[in-house]
Structure 1
Amino acid sequence: MSAKPQRLRQTGKRQKILVAGAGMSGLVAALELEHVGHDVTIIEARDRVGGRVHTQRGSDGTPIAEAGAGRIPRSHHWTLDYIGRMGLALHPLYPPKLTNLAFINGQRCSLDSGAELAQAVALPENERALGYPGIVKTYLLDNVDRLLAAGVIDTPAWPPEQLADLDRLSAPDYLAERGLSQAAIKLLTLGAFPTAISPLMLSRVLAHYDRDGLSIIEDGNDSLPKAIAARLRGDILLGTPVLAVSQFSDRVEVTVVREGRTTTMTADALICTIPYSVLPTVTFEPLLSPARRQILAEMRYVKVAKVAFRMRSRFWEADHLSGFAQLDTGAEIWSPQWPSNGHRGVLQLYQQGDRVTEMDALSEPDRMRWAIEKIEEVFPGAERHVEECVSYSWQLDPWARGAYGIPYPGDLFKWKGRLAGHEGRIHFAGEHTSEYPAWIEGAVRSGHSAASEVNETGS
């Protein structure tokens, strides 16, 4: 696959296209289809564009934190291409020359120091001899090297059959099977780590991940979907959820709720970017294929809640700390630095996993109290610097019902070639259908692919 998105070819046949969802995949699909002359209308259930690219802003309108997609690796070339085309600026997510922290067993230590990390847990003698860098190389990076040597990333050969052994178990279970101690497994799964991920999927993520190369868009990551939306000629109908989709030999009909009334829209094709966590609420006639219905029943979405506090000052920098930390509770602390913040700072608790259920059961004030107490454990004194707070839970969002879809062990091979594609005049896209689940890159690539599919199918 090309390192950059290719422009679609003009086919000479103008089609009327409906796109369900104004997230990144739907917006990219619309942009590309309009470029070659198609008529495109986007229907979106929310009252905003962007989907799970959602920047939360303070009372002054400036960004506080990302509720959704929060980092852009420099290896995600398709995302960077669209950012460049929209004329947007990037700046680093992590501040340079400051220390990132880990919080393990109630102990704060440097995440950048392998020696400190290894001392934070009781490792058996053989693992102490390896040291933290040796454990990382032996149990994680060697698998990344195997994957890179296979040369299958971004090719039709993904996932590689020769590495199927890496997709049998979850990463923690795989590490335990290899004889790694629970203490060492805790070290390797710090932060907002999806524990169900397989070593094969983890290796793919690590192959593209470079902490020093992570960026955010200068005025918030949702500047990208907003900029694309502003370029579109066709309508974007917000507050318009999809109820049903009916397919015929010559058209597709989509029943929606528009301004309180049920109405039907007709098109030559539909690009459906609705998350698979929500898609079962839509009625299809005829029914979707058994294979896709099976995926809808099986795909699980990761629980994520984020609570961010704008601080009057970046007090942690006096101790040469970056404000970023990885915790042993399925959480991370982020400290994005927006140019508009000036001397102010942000500390954001990014929680994944079962503890999110506990957070979701709380009232908004209690959720904020819960989050600041967790942050205080790592950055004492944080509460007295709080200026304002925002929070978001993706499980409580009825149009997401979770942060992102993730393949569990065995799913990569079971679902191969079945996540995206089309069923008649219905074409499927979204990060959940891509080889980059949870990333803007996945949404962008899937949207472009669906647009190309529609364009060629109608030629």
Structure 2
Amino acid sequence: MPLLPPKLKHMESPKKKIVACVGMSGLAGPPRLAPTTDPKTVIVVGAGMSGLVAALELERAGHHVQIVEARRRIGGRVHTQRARDGAPMAEAGAGRIPRSHRWTWDYIGQMGLATRPLYPAGLKNVALIDGKRWIIDSKTDLAATVDLPPEEKAMGYAGLIKTHVLDNVEKLLAAKVIDTPAWPPSALAHLDRLCIVDHLAAQGLSPAAIKLLTLGAFPTAISPLMLSRVLATYDRESLSVIEGGNDRLPAAIAAHLRGPILLNSPVRAVVQFADRIEIAVEGARPKAVLTADALICTIPFSVLGRVQFEPALNPAKQQILAEIRYTKATKVAFKMSARFWESEQLSGFAQLDTGAEIWSPRWSAGDGSGVLQFYQQGERAAELDAMDEPARAQWAMGHIEKAFPGAGRHVQESRSYSWQHDPWAGGAYGIPQPGDLFRWQGNIASPEGRIYFAGEHTSEYSAWIEGAVRSGHRAATELHEATFESHR
């Protein structure tokens, strides 16, 4: 996401104050389902956040649920990496929770979990642009860090962000379609025709200005409309993590479930009959067939094509499976003997112009130790994936050293994770690319008989825990309200 310095928080426009990316709708939390008088047996495929939320809400309503998960763990793409001593080290997957993602916060509250800010207070971030290191504070104008044409330099970074990013967010907020059936808005369809990089170029921006506006682990294939949708519900100044690791949220929800969770049990086939669903499961035990009244499928569309459906999924959904692209992301985390960067009043966070960021998860440690995590998105993640573990760590630390010189001397251990190499993910997240919002409208999450679909890829909140949570709740609601005959 764009690097928004503190001074942009209170930037004024002629119409109203733009508080960078805090527009919110749907302020109420997730509603509870009414108790059922017709309990159904349900199989949920996937023990990530969407599947766990769906199972929780269905059980609360009185249905009988079992979860089938391909991995040997729960959580899906909420995956906390831990050091050799078992302490949380870094988030391989979902790493930040905006305060504006209210449904996620509702479940955090329900589970009684504590949180803390992602960023340490009072410390400054770093930017690496064209190989040069810049320390970011309220006086920094990033427009001075690169060679911009005179008219762009005169606008300054604040003006570039306002004109080419935040003004589109304002237009979307004014349309009042977020979290409503009117999404995506046809009046703004022109913002969904090109990826953000091509859109900015078409607006006449120089390559140097485009680089500034897409710093960090930025999904450059995203359209301006989808980017505006993300930013409209993304409060960068109020990001948090769960104390002890974000994986405590899926673990807590799983602990509240009555039904079984079958791990290491990939689903190979789904057969739908007039009165039931049957799934073929493989795992540590011999191949098994499970039967239920209905099924909620949370498998990422990047890997769903491996599952055989009978009858086949409808042509519209098959087309989406063929077209959807998942963002590449690889992370390498280093446990550090000391948070030496704090002596320079630095937060340990940095954004690079190479599709990468550096994070400092900064789990509470009384001994002064810390963590630096290199987060690479895009095609360069594939470069990391081609390396063995030592080479990957060396490559990542080489980039960290440019932002935080001397970091290599403090490394105690490292962990890496590639979402492309995860056979049950096939990438980090499935975010719509230009034109997808309108091509896929009404089909990506539509039920097919007794099969319901959830997962962040089926939500307006693509790539976030919020998307998984909302989609799981939606699928549970659709199933709960269905009128098909229950299998006895």
TM-score range, shorter chain: over 0.9
The answer as to 2:318 corresponding to 1:325 is no
Partners of 2:260 and 2:190 in 1: CA distance: 48
State the match for 2:255 in structure 1: 230
1:379 corresponds, among 385, 399, 404, to: 404
Partners of 2:400 and 2:92 in 1: CA distance: 17
State the match for 1:17 in structure 2: 42
Partners of 1:444 and 1:232 in 2: CA distance: 16
- Over the aligned positions, Cα root-mean-square deviation in angstroms equals 1.1
Alignment of 1:153-168 (within 5 A): 153-168=178-193
Q: Which amino acid aligns with 2:177?
A: V
Offset, 1:269: 0.2
State the match for 2:78 in structure 1: 53
Q: Per the alignment, do residues 232 and 260 of structure 1 end up closer, same or farther by CA in structure 2, a change over 3 Å counting? A: same
Offset, 1:65: 0.3
1:134 corresponds, among 156, 159, 162, to: 159
State the match for 1:218 in structure 2: 243
- Retained in 1: the 8 A contact 2:53–2:469? yes
Partners of 2:51 and 2:417 in 1: CA distance: 22
Offset, 1:417: 1.5
State the match for 2:376 in structure 1: 351
Offset, 1:111: 3.4
Q: Which amino acid aligns with 1:189?
A: T
- Retained in 2: the 8 A contact 1:109–1:116? no
Offset, 1:11: 2.5
Q: Which of 11-20 and 111-120 deviates more? A: 111-120
- Offset from partner CA, 1:328-350 (integer Å, 9 cap, x none): 00000000121246411111000
2:118 corresponds, among 93, 96, 111, to: 93
Q: Which of 335-344 and 45-54 deviates more? A: 335-344
Q: Which amino acid aligns with 1:428?
A: F
- Offset from partner CA, 1:239-260 (integer Å, 9 cap, x none): 0000000000000000001324
The residue matched to 2:481 in structure 1 has which SS? Answer: helix
Q: Which amino acid aligns with 1:382?
A: A
1:309 corresponds, among 305, 327, 334, to: 334
The residue matched to 2:280 in structure 1 has which SS? Answer: strand
2:99 corresponds, among 58, 68, 74, to: 74
The answer as to 2:150 corresponding to 1:125 is yes
- TM-score of the superposition, structure 2-length normalised? 0.93
- Retained in 2: the 8 A contact 1:115–1:132? no
1:175 corresponds, among 176, 194, 200, to: 200
- Retained in 2: the 8 A contact 1:114–1:132? no
State the match for 1:399 in structure 2: 424
Offset, 1:80: 0.1
Alignment of 1:171-210 (within 5 A): 171-210=196-235
State the match for 1:298 in structure 2: 323
2:302 corresponds, among 272, 277, 291, to: 277
Partners of 2:67 and 2:234 in 1: CA distance: 32
- Offset from partner CA, 1:282-313 (integer Å, 9 cap, x none): 00000000000000000000000000001111
State the match for 1:84 in structure 2: 109
Offset, 1:113: 4.6
Partners of 1:436 and 1:20 in 2: CA distance: 20
The residue matched to 2:197 in structure 1 has which SS? Answer: helix
The residue matched to 1:227 in structure 2 has which SS? Answer: helix
The residue matched to 1:339 in structure 2 has which SS? Answer: coil
The residue matched to 2:335 in structure 1 has which SS? Answer: strand
- Retained in 2: the 8 A contact 1:72–1:215? yes
The residue matched to 1:64 in structure 2 has which SS? Answer: strand
The residue matched to 1:422 in structure 2 has which SS? Answer: coil
The answer as to 2:136 corresponding to 1:111 is yes
- Retained in 2: the 8 A contact 1:166–1:198? yes
**Alignment length (residue pairs):** 459
2:479 corresponds, among 428, 435, 454, to: 454
The residue matched to 2:302 in structure 1 has which SS? Answer: coil
5+ residue gaps, structure 1, are none
- Offset from partner CA, 1:110-165 (integer Å, 9 cap, x none): 33456441121101100111111011101111111000000011100011011111
Percent of residue pairs bearing the same amino acid type: 66
Partners of 1:183 and 1:385 in 2: CA distance: 34
Q: Which of 107-116 and 391-400 deviates more? A: 107-116
Q: Per the alignment, do residues 340 and 238 of structure 1 end up closer, same or farther by CA in structure 2, a change over 3 Å counting? A: farther
- Retained in 2: the 8 A contact 1:304–1:353? yes
Offset, 1:3: 2.2
State the match for 2:273 in structure 1: 248
Q: Which of 109-118 and 265-274 deviates more? A: 109-118
The answer as to 2:413 corresponding to 1:388 is yes
2:395 corresponds, among 327, 348, 370, to: 370
State the match for 2:20 in structure 1: none
The residue matched to 2:47 in structure 1 has which SS? Answer: coil
Partners of 1:417 and 1:168 in 2: CA distance: 19
Offset, 1:418: 1.2
Partners of 1:216 and 1:205 in 2: CA distance: 19
Offset, 1:2: 5.9
- Offset from partner CA, 1:82-106 (integer Å, 9 cap, x none): 0000000110000111111110001
The residue matched to 2:282 in structure 1 has which SS? Answer: strand
Partners of 2:319 and 2:205 in 1: CA distance: 35
- Retained in 1: the 8 A contact 2:142–2:156? no
Partners of 2:31 and 2:446 in 1: CA distance: 18
State the match for 2:18 in structure 1: none
Structure 1 consecutive aligned stretches of length 4 or more whose deviation exceeds 3 Å: 111-116
- Retained in 1: the 8 A contact 2:81–2:415? yes
- Retained in 2: the 8 A contact 1:110–1:117? no
Partners of 1:250 and 1:341 in 2: CA distance: 59
The residue matched to 1:228 in structure 2 has which SS? Answer: helix
Offset, 1:458: 4.2
Q: Which amino acid aligns with 1:141?
A: L
State the match for 1:259 in structure 2: 284
- Offset from partner CA, 1:345-378 (integer Å, 9 cap, x none): 1110000011111111111111111111111111
Q: Which amino acid aligns with 1:211?
A: R
The residue matched to 2:466 in structure 1 has which SS? Answer: helix
- Retained in 1: the 8 A contact 2:126–2:133? yes
- Retained in 2: the 8 A contact 1:114–1:131? no
